[in-house]
Every structure is written in structure tokens, then in C-alpha cells.
Chains A and B, each alone.
Chain A
Amino acid sequence: MANTPSAEAKTGWALVSAPAVYVLLMLAAPLLLVFGLSFAGLEDGSKVSLPLADGQVEQLGFTLSNYGKLFCWSVSESCSSTDVRMAQATANAMGRALMVAGFVTLTTVLLAYPVAYYVSFHVQPSKKALWLFLITIPFWTSYVIRVALWRTILGYDGAVDAALSGLGIIDGQLNVLQYGTLSIIITLSHAYAPFAVLPIFVALEKVDRSLLEAGQDLGESRWTTFLRVTLPLTMSGVVAAVLIVFIPTVGDYVTPELIGSGKVPMIANFIETQMWKLRNQAMGSTLAVSSMLIVAIIATLFVLANRRYLGARK
């Protein structure tokens, strides 16, 4: 058994070696390969389609032209009219993905905060686990089924239309589904709701309850206590919730396919088209790397903007 630090380190490393090697081979290596491929091109200008044919390996070289294609705003020597259309469509898909993810994040976090607050502050400690279990169950059931069901809820004669016309609020059909982007936002907000509740709940649980009493003893109202004590103390949870919802929703593929019927593609659908349908893995990698870079920049800026709340915990 490990007694000295170095023996302990050895045992620890021996144990973790298998999962560590797995992650190295199945995650680090593929991501590095994608990064490398995003700069790859063939001398004859044909697309990089894996596995490479005989003789193509020698032709493989470093190029920035994949990234250049993303900036083809007008037809020129290096940009054909197809390239220009492609660049515009890609920019649109990225813009749409960011906008959708932004709205989804805002909606889920705003709607989730009161729920997390209720469970943390008003539910008996012995019942908290049960409430969290109830909130998380839908998240564990098939994502594809949940997303697809929103078609039946939002679509023609769906649950929303049936309820609204039943109540006499609308006369005909609302058919929200025809507004592709809106129905994607609704569906994703629903799918990612539990993701927002959990981190906020964890942050609320850490709030020292005596601080709130102190605030109220000193003459603050409940609302100002919340704004000046509880909310700043739980901003770390809000930031975590924002990131945990925003990042996967930017890269969502299933919802635009099923809800938007592929008519309002987001960036993940474009990555899939290049990588899978067109077998152009270099361009697909370029899209993957650029979108990850954009998301990483936005996430970093967001964290920096909130750093005073995050630092307060130390």
C-alpha cells in the first residue's frame, strides 16, 4: 500500500493509466487531427477525403485556403461564385446558431433560477433530492424522442393549437412549427432546462443563510436582500449554467434537422454536410475548428465580464 508520496503517486498513476490512455487516443488524438486537417490541402486542389487514395499522401500540404474560403465575400481570383454562396451560408448558419443559443441560454437560465431557488430555500432538506430527481428525469429520456415530440406540440393541430383554440384564444391555426427558428428555440430551451437548474441550485445551497438574515436585520427588504446578497453570491452558478447550456446548443444538430426540417440549418448541420455528405474532411475540420474558436472566445469574454463575482468566492 502506498505510504510515501512517490509510491502513492505511482499507484494513482497506475490506476488512472487506462482511462487516461483512452481519452488520449479517443479524444486528444482526434481533436489534434481535426486541427491539423483544417490546414490541409492537396496540391491538385481536389478535396481532402479520408482515407487518402494512393499517391495523395505525397500531395498533402499546409494551406490557409480552407480558412480563406470562409471569408469569400465577393467573387475574385481565389473565390468562385459557389465559394461566395458557401461562405455566406456558413456565416448565416453560425450566426443563427449563436443567436439561437443566446436566446435559449437566456430563457433557460431566467426560467430555471426561481425553480432552483424554490428547491434550495423552500423545500425540506430531506425532500430536495426527490425534487432534483423529478427535474432531471426528462433530461435522461431519449433526446431524439423529446425533440421530435415538439413537432406534434407546435405543429398543425398540435397541442398548442388545440389548447389555444379550445380556450377560444385563437380562431385558426397558429402552427408555430412554420416559424423554424422560433420553434428551434422553444424546443432547445425545453431540452436544456435541467442543465440550468442544477448549477444554480448548487450555488444557492452554498449561500450562508445567516447573511440573508443579517441583510434583513439591517433593514433591507426581501427583494433588495436578494439583489444585493443572494444574486451576487450565486452568480458563479449562473455563469456555469450559461456555459453549460450555451456550448452544446450552439453545436446542436438534431433540432434543426427534426424541427426545422433542415430548412434552417445551424453550424453543426454544415459541419456534418462537409464531413459526412460531401466527404470533404479538411473543410469540415476548418468549420469545426472555427466554430469551436468562436464559442471559446465568447465563453472567455463572458467569464471575464463576470470575474468579479467568480473571484468573490476565494
Chain B
Amino acid sequence: MKTKGLGLRTYTIIYLIVLYAPIIILPLFAFNDATTVAFPLSGFTTKWFAEMMGDVNLRKALVNSLIVSLSTAVIATALGILAARSAVRYSWPGKGIVMGSIMVPLVLPEMIVAMSLLVLLLAMGVKLSLFTIILGHVLICMPFAVAILSSAFQSLDKSLEEAALDLGETGWSTFRLIVLPLVMPGILSSFLITFTISIDEFIIANFLGGGEPVLSVFVFTAFRFPSTVPPVLALGTMLVAFSILLLTIAEYFRRRGVAKAGGKDTGGFL
């Protein structure tokens, strides 16, 4: 068995290395002392980071991105809790079609989602702003929130709730005292994942933002002009490191949630 898996194991490791190649190359050039992004590397510098920190537009984009991503994460997770709780705990007619529709943005190209929302907003005469980005981001983040939270609610033992009700708790206090603490890891994990998706998302942010700069749009624009590439690589390094940190925390909470509810870890967010 061991020897048979060796070829596959080698292949998988090479696959992973290729998968990570861009992320590994990113910091190499972010610390490279050259204005052109090309091999061979010429020397170590932190000047791109300094240049990035001093950029006023970047700071504005950062603040805007934080506003959008925090709002998106809160709203998408709140809506996700409602949908996941309803789908897992109760049976009602039309569940398949309603839950299916909530998941649709997962399989629609983002350009279609962005452009159809744009058309609606334009037709209604809504001014494009950070708020309209949030509207779009909540839509594309909700499927992820629902997927994560559904598995959190699924691993919940129904008899715990029934016991609380039998002991005289009301429906709401049972939810607050029993259900909520047990699914809290799932809620945190959903919050972090939706935050990450929102801060990285480009298409909706670009077309529904009405010219308000956010990080992903800043990065996209900067990559089109060679002179702004090195500082944006520094920014990218920090964004990727930040994303990986958030994901690791999210994964930690997800696993703790699974362990807490006594379930078996089947792995993965999806």
C-alpha cells in the first residue's frame, strides 16, 4: 500500500507546489530591489512597502474596503444563519427551490451577477456607491455563509434543544443559551470567510462602486502600469498573508465547532 501511493504522493506534492507558485513568487519580488519584475533578483529592499504605506489613495481604498467587507460579512452571516437554521431544523414546502436560488450565485459567472445588478440599479436611478457594492457582495457571499452554517447546524444534537424546552426555557432563550453557543464557531468561520471573499472580490467592486476606490480595484489598476507594479506587490504580499491568517483562524473555529458538537470531521469548507 505504501509503495503504491508513492507516485501519487509525489504528484500531489508537485501539484501543491505549482498551486502555491504565484503566492511564493509574490514576496520574492515585493522585497526585490528593482523597478522591473523579472529574474534574476537584484537585492533586498523594503522600499516598496514604505512607498505603499505612504500612498494616500491606497489608505482611502483600505478604509473603503474595510467598510464594505465588514458590512458584507455581518449581513451575509446574519442572513445565512436565518436560511441555514430554517433549512436544517424545519421542514417547509418549497425548501428545495428557495435554498437552490440562494446558492445560484455560486454557479453564475460574476460578470452576469454584476451586470444584472447594475442594470437594475441604473433603471431604479440608484446612485452607485460603497453601499451598492455591499448589496452585490452580500448576494455572492450568502451561499458560502449558508454552506458553512448549514454544516454547523447539522452537527447540532436536537435532543439538547428539546431538553432545554422541557426544563422550561422559551424558544428564544433556548436558541440563545443552547443553540447559539454551539454554532458560534460556525458563525465566526462564516464571518471570516465572507469577509475574505468580499475584500478580494473585484468585478462587483469595480462596476457597482461608482468610482469609489477599494483594494481589489486599486490592485487591478496598479497591475496595468509597470511603474506601480512593485509597490502593489508589497500590498499583495500583505493581503495574501492576511487572507491566509484569517482562513487559518476560520479553519480552527470550524474544526473546534465540529469537535464541540461531537461530529466527525469530513474536511473542507464546502
A contacts, CB < 8 Å to B = 1-2, 5, 8-13, 15-16, 18-20, 22-24, 26-31, 33-34, 37, 50-52, 111, 114-115, 117-119, 121-122, 126, 128-129, 131-138, 140-146, 148-153, 155-159, 161-162, 190, 193-194, 198, 201, 205, 222, 243-244, 247-248, 250-254, 257-258, 268, 271-272, 275-276, 281, 284-285, 288, 292
Contact = CB atoms under 8 A, between A and B. Distances in A.
Contacts of A1: 165, 171
B234 to A, nearest CB: 12
B180 interface: no
A30 B120 contact: yes
Interface in B12-58: 12, 15-16, 18-23, 25-26, 29, 36-40
Contact of B15 (A22, A111, A133, A268): A111
Interface string B49-78: 000000000000000000000000000000
Contacts of B243: 140-142
19 contacts: A11-B86, A11-B90, A13-B86, A19-B80, A19-B82, A20-B101, A33-B116, A133-B247, A141-B23, A141-B243, A145-B219, A148-B236, A152-B29, A153-B22, A222-B4, A253-B203, A257-B220, A276-B118, A285-B119
B220 to A, nearest CB: 5
Contacts of A18: 79, 82
Contacts of B90: 2, 8-9, 11-12, 15
B223 A247 contact: no
Given A22-B79, A248-B109, A190 B19 contact: yes
Contacts of B36: 157
Given A22-B138, A26-B139, A129-B265, A145 B120 contact: no
Contacts, number: 266
Given A5-B91, A9-B93, A133-B251, A19 B83 contact: yes
Contacts of A10: 92
A129 B117 CA distance: 36
- Please report whether the interface of chain A is mostly helix, strand, loop or mixed according to DSSP: helix
Interface residues of B, number: 93
A50 B119 contact: yes
A285 B118 CA distance: 11
Nearest to B87: A16
A118 B11 CA distance: 9
Contacts of B113: 27
B216 A288 contact: no
Which of B20, B39, B117 has the most C-beta atoms of chain A within 10 angstroms of its own C-beta? B39
Contacts of B111: 251-253, 268, 271-272
A251 B139 contact: no
A284 B19 contact: no
B40 A9 contact: no
B38 A31 contact: no
A118 B165 CA distance: 46
B267 A132 contact: yes
Given A2-B90, A248-B110, A149 B22 contact: yes
